[in-house]
Structure 1
């Protein structure tokens, strides 16, 4: 597939690195020459220096025969104009744009139409991150929660602790403990080593366990791996940007929310827009302010400013002063593995959320949803099966007979309205929504090929 990526920032770079290894023809466009040279030295891709929305630059980038344009520059307006130019001059079939501004998103149904601003898919990092944080608040103790099949099936990452009934026992004991609930453990991370789970695998305290189950059973399965935490009721949010405001608005009906914003004008505007959230103008590093607002009673401290270092430091301070959990927004991928799981409980990455959403539109075949797991190393795909027994490599075949690559596991299937946790004798049917967990993204191309019917995609 010929793909043009506009913008070599964190998202554009990570996306290019992810796709270039999958036998795609990638061209990356940016104004920063040093950044482009560095990427060209590291990866097998083309780079073009210039303005992303320039017709001449797009022409040089191969727009006349490109299959896909992904506009992820830091400017919404540049992304929109680039998609307009790509449609009008070059008729690029699929155009994806990152749009951040809430003003544009509010009018998206009228604006983003073929005869107005021709964008096929909109990616909004702020909404994606707000959704992710809300899911983590809904499932106390989870490190990551991803929904598939219209929310019916979920993949959850959770740390095993002493006190969980399954800790110290083999995975096969899960069925004895929960005879009426189906669940499948698809990965265990132990001391930075991935263990392929088997029935005889003993769950140890400290293991990072990834499991798949019907969404309604998430808390029941989590209770096997750790003592279930009480619902989070008292939240403190640092930063009143789009994400901070979005999280407060989403959660203020079910939780007591306090929000600290440094800018006085922004704090005033937030106080007017947020009906039940208590808004303070102040600095999150001010210990006296945190003490006055009873930081020791806060269930989750969410540091959601655009400054990674400030988020990390304020979260460390809040934990030292008694906050029970700390969740931080991290832009730089290099920081995430350094901090998560120590004093800071959860790091949320806008880049990773955006990449997941983009991959859902880029993967070959009928892929309804993609989620990157373990900070980009693993991936889960929801694939809709098409074809028949003659044209498909999977329809009418048992899961045990499928030639899945190493580290790939079919975790669950949605068949009509029924959630089926996959067993080796399960036959795959047409129109099944199959959830595949892939422990190493380098095998994605094999999965795509396996599920593509011969007469469906050329």
Structure 2
């Protein structure tokens, strides 16, 4: 696939790194030549220096025969104009744009149409991150929750702790503990080393476990791995930007929410917009303010400013002062692996949320949804089965007979509204929604080829 990525910031760079190893022809466009040269030295991709919305720059980047254009510059307006030019001058088939401004998003149904601003798919990092945070609030104790198949199947990452009934026992004991609930453990990380789960594998305290189950059973399965935490009811948010505001709006009717904003004018605006949230003007790293607002009674402290260092420091302080859980928004990928688990309970990454959404539009073989896991090293994906036994490599075959890459596991299938946890003798049928866990995302091209119908299928 020939792909043009506009913008070599965190998202554009991470997306290019993800796709360049998957047999794609990538061209990266940005104004900063030094950054592009550095990326070209590391990866097998083309670079073009110039303005992302310039017709001549897009022509030089190969927009005439590009299959996909992804506009992820820091400017919504540049992204929109680039998509318009790609459509009008070069007839680019698929155009994706990152849009952050809430005003544009409110009017998206009227604005982003072929005869107005021709953007095929909109990616909003703020909305994606808000959704991720709300999922984590809904499932206390989870490190990551990704929904698939119309939210009927979920992939969940959580840690095993002493007190969980399955800790110290083999995975096979899960069926005895939960005889009426089916689930598949697809991955275990123990001291940062991957273990391929077998029925005889013993779950140990501290293991990071990834499992797939029907969404309605998430809490029941989690209760086997750790003492199920009480629902989060008292939440404190640091940072009143777009994400902080959006999270507060989602939570304020079901939780007691306090929000701390550094800028007085912005705090006043937030107080008007939020009807059931207590808004404070102050610094979230102020020991006295946190103590005064009873941080020790908070179920979760969520640090959502635009400053990574400030987020980390305020979260560590909140944890030290008694907050039961702390969640931190981190922009820089280099920080993520350093801090999660070391005083910070959960890290949320706008880049990974955006990459997950983008990959769902880039993958071949009718792969409709992708979740980036373990900070980009693993993936879960959902594919719809098309064709028949003569035109498909999968339909009509048992899972045990499929030539899956060695890091891939089929975890579950949605068939006619019913969730089926995958076993070796399950036969895949047409129109099945298949959820696959891929421990090594370098093998994703093999999955794409396997899931694509042959040329016999029309």
1:37-116 correspondence to structure 2 within 5 Å: 37-116=37-116
1:20-39 correspondence to structure 2 within 5 Å: 20-39=20-39
Residues of 2 paired with 1:331 and 1:34: CA distance?
21
- Tell whether the 8 Å contact from 2:384 to 2:433 is kept in structure 1 after alignment: yes
* Distance apart, 1:456 and its partner CA: 7.0
Residues of 1 paired with 2:370 and 2:316: CA distance?
32
CA deviations on 1:88-120 (whole Å, 9 max, x unpaired) are 000000000000000000000000000000000
After TM superposition, the score normalised by the length of structure 1 is 0.99
In the alignment, structure 2 segments of 5+ residues that lack a partner are none
3-state secondary structure, aligned to 2:370: strand
- Tell whether the 8 Å contact from 2:387 to 2:457 is kept in structure 1 after alignment: no
- Tell whether the 8 Å contact from 2:391 to 2:453 is kept in structure 1 after alignment: yes
- Tell whether the 8 Å contact from 1:260 to 1:280 is kept in structure 2 after alignment: yes
Aligned residue in 2 for 1:272:
272
- Tell whether the 8 Å contact from 1:365 to 1:457 is kept in structure 2 after alignment: no
Residues of 1 paired with 2:240 and 2:105: CA distance?
18
- Tell whether the 8 Å contact from 1:68 to 1:93 is kept in structure 2 after alignment: yes
Aligned residue in 2 for 1:239:
239
Aligned residue in 1 for 2:407:
407
3-state secondary structure, aligned to 1:278: strand
* Distance apart, 1:342 and its partner CA: 1.6
Aligned residue in 2 for 1:16:
16
3-state secondary structure, aligned to 1:426: coil
Residues of 2 paired with 1:253 and 1:150: CA distance?
25
Aligned residue in 2 for 1:152:
152
CA-based RMSD of the aligned residues comes to 0.8
* Distance apart, 1:286 and its partner CA: 1.2
Residues of 1 paired with 2:143 and 2:210: CA distance?
10
3-state secondary structure, aligned to 2:301: strand
After TM superposition, the score normalised by the length of structure 2 is 0.99
Would you identify which runs of 4 or more consecutive aligned residues in structure 1 move more than 6 Å? none
* Distance apart, 1:258 and its partner CA: 0.2
3-state secondary structure, aligned to 1:411: strand
CA deviations on 1:64-83 (whole Å, 9 max, x unpaired) are 00000000000000000000
Report how many residues are paired: 458
Residues of 2 paired with 1:31 and 1:245: CA distance?
32
Aligned residue in 2 for 1:417:
417
Residues of 2 paired with 1:226 and 1:334: CA distance?
29
Residues of 2 paired with 1:439 and 1:287: CA distance?
41
Residues of 1 paired with 2:151 and 2:228: CA distance?
22
In the alignment, structure 1 segments of 5+ residues that lack a partner are none
CA deviations on 1:307-360 (whole Å, 9 max, x unpaired) are 000000000111111111100000001100100012100000000000000000
